[in-house]
Amino acid sequence: MGVFLSSVGALSTYYPDAKQIFDDENRRIQVARLIAKAPAIGAYSYRHANGLPYVDPDSSLGFAGRFLGMLFGEPGAPYTPDPVLERALDILFILHADHEQNCSTSAMRGIGSSQADPFASMAGAAAALYGPLHGGANEAVLRMLAAIGSVDNVPDFIKKVKAGEGRLMGFGHRVYKSYDPRATVIKEQAYRVFEVTGRNPLLDIAIELERIALQDDYFVQRRLYPNVDFYSGLIYEAMGFKPAMFTVLFAIGRAPGWIAQWQEMLRDKAQKIARPRQIYLGAGERDYVPMDQR
């Protein structure tokens, strides 16, 4: 993810014309560049991290299929993505595209309000997404499921969570106070992906964890329901991605939403540079003793 956000920011110097943000046609070109280059940068960062040669994009494939080819193909050889995996990845990209004023989207708009170019703004948004409480949440779910170990251990884990001795990852949301509708779609895709890749044993733990939590008054009263992160990590892992790549996948899907928010902000005539109000609650007048008299 560090390579991804750094590379996106570096495009600001490669395309200096991107600074002409109020030129509609020029802005359209930068938007197309960003959406097209996000998966290429993500794929190349993956290949670089694994010591593999880069694979050029195949223009005969769709957006998700081309990305899979750059990830898992061989240089100069044709690549045919599995249609189930390609469709699952496409759905995940769509579900992650935009989601209100979350941390990274707010960062995109906050940076963009200074009239920074889209590459610099998106680099900042990706940096915000990098945090474990935002884009890294699905990786935390996998660690939790692995720590539980087996379906038999789920009841004991639930007891520990209720006693404040553990944390239930992938449940609850700042916006949704019922079942996250995106989680329903992703859960369906998980079953289809596992028909191709083989069933991940962690899925059984996840299903049992969800079943117990949805029936337990402790979680129901607190409106803790599975969110989008609960099953997405299982799908990514089954497709061959390592956890370090999960947030990059999130960023690729979120790129169109970030850019849409950025453009909306630029077109708003009432928009000013972001400056949240801060109220000082500290001491009033204080005596100062010069350094040489202390």
Query: Catalytic positions, please?
Result: 134, 173, 229
Q: Where are the alpha helices (DSSP H) in the chain?
A: 2-14, 24-49, 63-72, 83-95, 103-112, 118-129, 137-148, 154-162, 181-197, 201-215, 217-221, 229-238, 243-267
Start-to-end CA span in the chain (Å): 48
Sign for the CA dihedral angle at 200, 205, 210, 211 comes to positive
Specify the DSSP class assigned to residue 171: B
Please tell me the distance from the alpha carbon of residue 279 to that of residue 277, in angstroms, as a whole number: 7
- Classify 205 as helix, strand or coil: helix
Q: Enumerate residues 6+ apart whose C-beta is below 8 A from 283.
A: none
What count of other Cβ atoms lies within 10 Å of the Cβ of residue 58? Answer: 17
CA angle 156, 139, 3 (to 5 degrees): 160
Q: Are 223 and 177 in contact (CB under 8 A)?
A: yes
* Residue type, position 159, single letter: K
Q: What is the CA radius of gyration of the chain?
A: 22
